[in-house]
Structure 1
Amino acid sequence: MLIVSEFDDDDRLATPLGIADPEQALDGLVDARILIVDDNRVSRSVVEINLVRAGYTNIRTADDGEQGLKTVFDWHPHLIITDMLMPKLDGFDFCRWLRAEPRFKAIPVIVQTVLDAPELRGDIFDAGATDLIVKPINGRELLSRVRVHLERRRLIDHLSDYQNRLNEELRAARDMQCQLMPAAEDIAELCRKYPIEVASMCEPSSLVSGDLWGIDQLSPTALRIWTADFTGHGIYSALNTFRLHTYLKAGNASAYDPGEWLGEVNAFLCKVLPVGQFATMLCTVIDFSAGSLAVASAAAPYPIHSEGDDFRLLPLDGLPLGILPSASYETSTFPFGSGATLFAYSDALIETPEADAPALPPEKVADFMAANRSRPLEAIRSELVERLDAAAPAGLTDDLTMILIRHLGAPQ
């Protein structure tokens, strides 16, 4: 807190301040670090006496702005009381220096002044003051303002500590969630075992995500690729990804057919998801020996499939998971020979910056894929991200998942 005093007239300093009740120094605040900066000895003493009589015990003084600034850097006070008109460094520049230093931006600023002109008040607040009190000051008013700003500072500190702890926990949760999805070395191993090229990403809009995806080895010539997107963002949707991963990791969904597999997952989610929560999901099975792609959807965005130079959306529909236990899901089969590509993604790709005016509607994405069919999949993924970043410079408002898979040739 910065209290700026222009009071340099000793006669005015003799004006009774009115010593405040010591109870105004609230429990837990009496040891707050308070710095008084004033070139007038009497003025410093008057303010210090009021603070001491109110019970404050951790007070330092400085007799000009430069010494005050040095004390701020060395001592990091919670509250500063300073004069406005001082040699070497006046109150305006003193305040501006504080506000220019990130470590001290949170220190509140109260200005004492004998001048009450509106233009001066504006100058004082423009310099970075938080509060202002007109002289001759009353001790009770001074201490009340000190207490209010110290309480506010303590609350902000507590909230900041809580936010920091929460962010640390969310970052830890994010690291754990990343471990649920295929790691780079796992994908590299699959690319050695199967005739595929893969590019992927799963980027949360907040620290944790409601998206999840995976690749399961069904046989030496067949892979299951699936994506899931739980409703909402943040912690609640992230917890649901852990639920789903635990269920799938235990092998509870064992059907080979994508539609039947989605039915098994739906039955599970209907039991565990609260009312109002659901998931969209895509399940595909690539059979390299048969050169086929089997696909079933639970309201997932239409995947993009290519055979030869033809890139097109697969208009697959199905009820979201977790709503109706008796829901069934239809499997559709498409050719997937050498050179074929599958692109599965979450709706953030086709609804940024707004669902009604996306930068990359599905048809445009399919055209982009066709125009770039000879490029590496990672380069395609990277350019799509660049376009999204340009369309939403403030950041995505939804979790983004993209999985691109290309069939490179005959099974090894």
Structure 2
Amino acid sequence: MNRNSTLTGDRLMGAPPRILVVDDNDDNLYTLTLHLDLEGYTEVETARDGEEAIARLKTGTFDLVLLDVMMPKVDGFQVLTWLKDQARLRDVPVIMISALTEMNSMARCIELGAVDYLLKPFNPVLLKARLGATLEKKRLRDEIDAHLARLQEELDAARRLQMAMVPQSFPAPRPDFPIDLCASMEPAREVGGDLYDFFVTEDGMLCFLVGDVSGKGMAAALFMARTKSLIRIATDLMRSRQGPSAAPAEIIARVNRELCQNNGDMMFVTLFFAMLRPSNGEIEFCNAGHNAPYRLNGQGLAPIEGGKGIILGVRPDAVYTTGRTSLAPDESIYVFTDGVTEAANLDGELFAEARLEAVLRASTDCSSAAAIVKSVGEAVRGFVGTAFPSDDITMLAVRRLDPSAL
């Protein structure tokens, strides 16, 4: 084995392994450093007691520590305990050095985190074998850590990219656009399969949607991006020249046919898609296998039914229908994914529709869409506590205001 082989971590690729030898006996230090030099280890530093070892470890980067057990001031137990408490150093392998009469002490060191031990007087063959095996394990672990760090960087970049694909700023209400809206999305992993979007067509219709792709992770995120793009493209292309936009059912049927193509993994998406005319509050919508949204007003709340069809991406010949309703001034629509109702706490209990409806009833007097989204989000997070998220959580609220009050 090349003793100066590449190691990864905090040091440059190709750098030889750095070893710290700690012993209060000059003869032992000399013997160990001589053996290390003969084996080709050129980056070797020494410390004559525990205090000096800790000082060197604080400022330097080492791939291996040879640590004597019995030393004045700060002994090997204390150095090992301190080292394992340091986040930067806890993975540095430590080989303990001890006399044959100190086997109980060696067992204690192994329990504290030492990877191996050497007995005095030193056996050159055994020293070579244990150094080589320990450094090889360290090299492999460093390579794995570096690979995981690269993957995490890529996932973080993918998360930022995904979050940039959904609107993060919301238009302010105006007399000619008396609509207040707000949305949030919290992926269960670095990237998720939920989506929300809103945009205004050339004929002035506000389109808004919330969807939930099957599965999680990168595949679901890519399917989400495809779905979002298809909806915008279909809505724009299917509008007749100088005429009104196509109906939601027609748009969703076209999107469904596109999603069914080249879908060998049989991924699918549930979706609620609506088109609202700001001037009078009229809404046309299509619900493709999604949770029914809620209407909120001063009298309470009620689910918005109708306009139903099957999930997208399964049957290219699926037929969808358009539902119709209207939103009066000071009324709101709340759309969500099942990650809200299926959020689980540490006991495995679900947030469920009953809790969601209780929070929404308490929010009927909220003066803004942001307040509705915030109240539900806080309720879900408070219920889940420290439990690991099981699904993406996405919600969108649209509130129609009185134009005369703007």
Spell out, residue by residue over 1:331-366, the C-alpha distance to the aligned partner (whole angstroms, 9 max, x if none): 222232112211111111010117x96543123312
Q: Structure 2: which amino acid aligns with 1:47?
A: L
Matched, 1:286 2:276: yes
- Name 1:388's counterpart in structure 2: 380
Measure how far apart 1:137 and its partner are.
Answer: 4.7
- Name 1:399's counterpart in structure 2: 392
Measure how far apart 1:134 and its partner are.
Answer: 4.6
Alignment of 1:11-410 (within 5 A): 23=1, 25=3, 27-28=5-6, 31-115=16-100, 120-184=105-169, 187-189=170-172, 193-218=176-201, 222-250=205-233, 251-252=236-237, 254=239, 256-306=246-296, 308-315=298-305, 317-353=308-344, 358-375=349-366, 376-392=368-384, 393-410=386-403
Give the Cα–Cα distance (whole angstroms) in 1 for the partners of residues 350 and 157 of structure 2. 33
SS in structure 2 opposite 1:353?
Answer: coil
Give the Cα–Cα distance (whole angstroms) in 1 for the partners of residues 176 and 117 of structure 2. 72
Spell out, residue by residue over 1:278-306, the C-alpha distance to the aligned partner (whole angstroms, 9 max, x if none): 11111112234443332211121221123
Measure how far apart 1:324 and its partner are.
Answer: 0.8
SS in structure 2 opposite 1:110?
Answer: strand
TM-score (norm 2): 0.86
Q: Structure 2: which amino acid aligns with 1:385?
A: G
Are 1:116 and 1:134, in contact at CA under 8 Å, matched by a contact in 2?
no
Are 2:300 and 2:364, in contact at CA under 8 Å, matched by a contact in 1?
no
Give the Cα–Cα distance (whole angstroms) in 1 for the partners of residues 49 and 222 of structure 2. 56
Q: Structure 2: which amino acid aligns with 1:339?
A: D
Structure 2 stretches lacking a partner, 5+ long: 8-14, 240-244
Measure how far apart 1:410 and its partner are.
Answer: 4.5
Are 2:256 and 2:313, in contact at CA under 8 Å, matched by a contact in 1?
yes
Are 1:313 and 1:366, in contact at CA under 8 Å, matched by a contact in 2?
no
Give the Cα–Cα distance (whole angstroms) in 2 for the partners of residues 64 and 25 of structure 1. 27
Spell out, residue by residue over 1:149-171, the C-alpha distance to the aligned partner (whole angstroms, 9 max, x if none): 22222222222222333322332
SS in structure 2 opposite 1:72?
Answer: helix
Stretch moving more, 316-325 or 188-197: 188-197
Give the Cα–Cα distance (whole angstroms) in 1 for the partners of residues 314 and 260 of structure 2. 6
Are 1:211 and 1:400, in contact at CA under 8 Å, matched by a contact in 2?
yes
Measure how far apart 1:405 and its partner are.
Answer: 1.0
Structure 1 stretches lacking a partner, 5+ long: 1-22
Give the Cα–Cα distance (whole angstroms) in 1 for the partners of residues 115 and 276 of structure 2. 64
Q: Structure 1: which amino acid aligns with 2:335?
A: A
Q: Structure 2: which amino acid aligns with 1:194?
A: F
When residues 220 and 309 of structure 1 are mapped into structure 2, their CA distance, relative to the original with a 3 A threshold, is farther
Give the Cα–Cα distance (whole angstroms) in 2 for the partners of residues 226 and 304 of structure 1. 14
Give the Cα–Cα distance (whole angstroms) in 1 for the partners of residues 300 and 392 of structure 2. 29
SS in structure 2 opposite 1:343?
Answer: strand
Q: Structure 2: which amino acid aligns with 1:371?
A: A
When residues 118 and 293 of structure 1 are mapped into structure 2, their CA distance, relative to the original with a 3 A threshold, is farther
Q: Structure 2: which amino acid aligns with 1:404?
A: A
- Name 2:12's counterpart in structure 1: none
Are 1:93 and 1:127, in contact at CA under 8 Å, matched by a contact in 2?
no
Measure how far apart 1:117 and its partner are.
Answer: 7.5
When residues 150 and 315 of structure 1 are mapped into structure 2, their CA distance, relative to the original with a 3 A threshold, is farther
Measure how far apart 1:61 and its partner are.
Answer: 1.2
SS in structure 2 opposite 1:183?
Answer: coil
Measure how far apart 1:91 and its partner are.
Answer: 0.4
Spell out, residue by residue over 1:376-396, the C-alpha distance to the aligned partner (whole angstroms, 9 max, x if none): 332332232222223331442
SS in structure 1 opposite 2:171?
Answer: helix
Give the Cα–Cα distance (whole angstroms) in 1 for the partners of residues 278 and 87 of structure 2. 58
CA RMSD, aligned part only?
2.8
Measure how far apart 1:371 and its partner are.
Answer: 2.2
When residues 127 and 31 of structure 1 are mapped into structure 2, their CA distance, relative to the original with a 3 A threshold, is same
Q: Structure 2: which amino acid aligns with 1:400?
A: I
Are 2:83 and 2:90, in contact at CA under 8 Å, matched by a contact in 1?
yes
